[in-house]
Structure formats: structure tokens, C-alpha cells
Structure 1
Amino acid sequence: MQNRVRDEDHGRWEAVLVASSAGGIQGLGTLLGGLEAALPVPVLVAQHLNRARETRIVAILERSTALAVKLAEDGDRPRAGTVYIAPPDRHLCVRAGGTLSLTREERVNFARPAADPLFESAAQAYGPGVIGCVLTGTDSDGARGVREVKARGGTVIVEDPGTAEFHGMPKAAVGTGQVDFVLPLEDIAPLLTRLLRQDAGGDGQPVPGSHPPA
């Protein structure tokens, strides 16, 4: 086992990104429920949602986590300890200055919102300060974004395709060869907590239970 996160990147975190699709509401509940209310960064989420009906995702996730949860609005400036969910039929992106934007640009893998626009724009805005997480889902959304996160020096965590409810998105992410950690869902929040707490020049030791892709 090796920790592929570079010591010099610790302490520079700006945001956690989460991509999910089929099975994602339950997966998000598990992940967010394992994070502390005093999380030092915002969490930006692209969960594939049905554009034909009003979403209840905020109310559902609020029951699972101590973090504040809201649908993202155009112009929001992300705050630590808050989860921003891409609303139905809108891509959630990050502008160069760090504010959020909502767009109706074309669907990605037939989805809007989609993970790739979020991951790509956040990587461009935040550089190595991004931690991108890909959870359960049925297509390849997020794979392109994972490459951009790594190209900009960020860190990528993927739910183990072998234990994910739907393995399509995690498997596609792992297939990029640009993933730092592959973990069962319940182990991702503890890893995030450790990474976010670790200052520059941390111990650099492998995280228990983590493994890079083969």
C-alpha cells in the first residue's frame, strides 16, 4: 500500500467534490454522515437528478449529516462546513474567482447536472486544493473530470467498484489510472477527515485500509 498524496499538498485544501448517480442518495448520506460539522472546506456535489420533478435531496441529506446542506445558487461563494448540491437540470461549476455558477450547457453522458463540468472547473479554479470523490453510478461520468483533477495536482478518491451499489462510474474513474485511493464507501469519510486535518509536512504514512488501483 502506498499513499500517493504528496506531502507538499497537505494543508492546501480548498474543496471536496463528490460525484454520484444511481444509488447516490444513500451513498451521499453515508459519506456526509461521517464528516464533522467543523469541516474546514465546502463540499460540492454533482448527483444525477430527475429534471422532471422537484428534488427532495436537501431534506433527505440533512437527516444524515451535521453539515449544512443546500441547493447551490448562481454566485454562491462556498463556505466551509456547507454542502452545495447541483440543482436539477443545471451543471454546477466553479468560476476562476471561486464563486459557483449554474449552467444549462449540453448534457454530459445524458446527465445535467453531471460530474465532469464540476470536477474540471473546480480543478481549474483550485488547482491542487481539490479532493475529488467518485461514488456509485451507472455510466462513465466523472472519468474526464478525474483526469483534470490529477492534471492540476489534486487528489482522487473512488468508491471500490467491487462493493459499490452500481459500479459504472467508479470503474470508469479507476480505469483512468489517475486515482489515489480506492476504498469501500464507509472508509471514505475517515480518509477525508485525516487528509483535511493533516498539515504540510505531515507524516506521509499510508492511510489504513487504503489502496491505489492496480
Structure 2
Amino acid sequence: MIQMAEDAKNNPPHFTNAGFDIVAIAASAGGLTAQIKVLSTLPAEFPAAIAIVQHISPEHPSFMAEILSRRTDITVKQAQEGDDLSPGTAYIAPPNRHLLVNDDGTLSLSQSKLVHFLRPSADLLFESVAATYKERAIAIVLTGTGSDGAMGVEAIKKMGGTVIVQDLKTAEFSGMPSAAIQTGNVDFILPLDEISRVLVSLVMGKCN
């Protein structure tokens, strides 16, 4: 059982003009292409922070931040210990490190044990986000093999957050989306092309 603090004593900062403060994204196989699709159409003034877990080889450096930075107007960086969450910025978990959101709105990196044979773990990210941001959190599960993220999705919903999952028809690999959907805790099941539009609507209130 994954254990995270469930009632943070400190309140994390809320961002101005944001319906939600943080968007946590999980992906595995096929995830880079999917994330480019989601992030590339976000406006530079997107008012929430984004935290990303992408399953990649722990033996090699990641160039995801550089690749995504060239395809989106928001800021993208590899997360570092102690980073303060900022609106319009996406933080990517480094290889072989769990990415956690603390109750003061900072980030922690951990080399604690593998979760379902994985590090970084989407479940750990989602559970930390749920405990910290509660109803002001959005979790997104994109293409990938396995079931990482499903336990975290349940935590997000339990704390009042919102869950978006890529539909199985547009997911290159359906394992992670399918596992999330099967929890019964999903608010939106969307084709990849529609996720960014709905995300902007939820966070910025630009459409109904």
C-alpha cells in the first residue's frame, strides 16, 4: 500500500485566475507523442502548474524537457529537488526518481523503492497531488502499458479532484488508460486531440 500524508497542515499556493492549480500527467509507451499533442496547444498564459511522469529507461539521460520545450509555448523543465511550482510551467520527473508534490507547493525527488516495478511512479505523483491540492487537482492518464496511475486516480477522486483519461481508440498502448477507466473514477474519457481543449476549459474557463 502506497502511503502519503492525507491531510497537509500547510496550504499550497493557489494561482490567480486558475480553476485548478495543478495538472498531473502520466504516460508510458507512446507517451512522448501524446504529450506533445497535449502541451503543444496550451497557451503561454496557462495558469496552472503541470507535473509529468513518463516511464523511461533509468540508465540514460532524458531529453524530454528539451523536446517538449520546442513544441509548446509553456515552460518545460526537468524537475529538481525543491522546485517551487509555478503556473505555466511543466515539470518532468527525472529518470529513476519519483516525483512528489509537497504540501507547501514545492517538489521532491525520491529514490525510494520501486512501485509496481517502476520509478518514477504515476501512482506516487497522483497520490501526493491529491493529498496536497485536493479538489484543485487534475490527473491525466495517457497511453502506456501496465496499470500505473490507477491507484493514484482513485486518490485524486477521493479528494475531490478531476480525472481525464485518453480513450482506448487513440491510445497507442491501452494498458494504463484501460486500468484507470476500470477504477470507475474517471470524469472524462477523451480522444487525444480533445484533451488540451478540455484542459484549457477546466483550468481557464474558456468554454462550458
TM-score by length of 1: 0.87
Assess if the C-alpha contact under 8 Å between 1:70 and 1:83 holds in 2.
yes
Q: What secondary structure sits across from 1:92 in the alignment?
A: strand
Assess if the C-alpha contact under 8 Å between 2:38 and 2:193 holds in 1.
yes
CA distance in 1 between counterparts of 2:122 and 2:61 reads 20
Q: Counterpart in 1 of 2:158?
A: 151
* Counterpart selection for 2:130 from 123, 126, 134: 123
Q: Counterpart in 2 of 1:37?
A: 44
Q: One-letter code of the match for 2:146?
A: D
1:50 matches 2:45: no
Q: Which segments of 5 or more consecutive residues in structure 1 lack a partner in the other structure?
A: 1-9, 206-214
Q: Deviations over 1:88-123 (max 9, x none)?
A: 000000111121100011112211111001000011
Q: What secondary structure sits across from 1:93 in the alignment?
A: strand
The CA RMSD measured in Å over matched residues stands at 1.5
After TM superposition, list the pairs within 5 Å mapping 1:21-100 onto structure 2. 21-100=28-107
Identity of aligned residues (%): 46
CA distance in 1 between counterparts of 2:65 and 2:105 reads 23
Assess if the C-alpha contact under 8 Å between 1:127 and 1:154 holds in 2.
yes
* Counterpart selection for 1:136 from 127, 132, 143: 143
- Deviating 4+ runs (over 4 angstroms): none
Deviation at 1:11, TM superposition (A): 5.3
* Counterpart selection for 1:103 from 103, 110, 113: 110
Q: One-letter code of the match for 1:123?
A: A
- Count of residue pairs the alignment pairs up: 192
Q: Counterpart in 1 of 2:184?
A: 177
Deviation at 1:63, TM superposition (A): 1.6
* Counterpart selection for 1:163 from 144, 158, 170: 170
CA distance in 2 between counterparts of 1:110 and 1:161 reads 24
Q: Which segments of 5 or more consecutive residues in structure 2 lack a partner in the other structure?
A: 1-16
Q: What secondary structure sits across from 2:67 in the alignment?
A: helix
Q: Deviations over 1:44-74 (max 9, x none)?
A: 0000111101111111111211111100011
TM-score by length of 2: 0.89
CA distance in 2 between counterparts of 1:61 and 1:23 reads 14
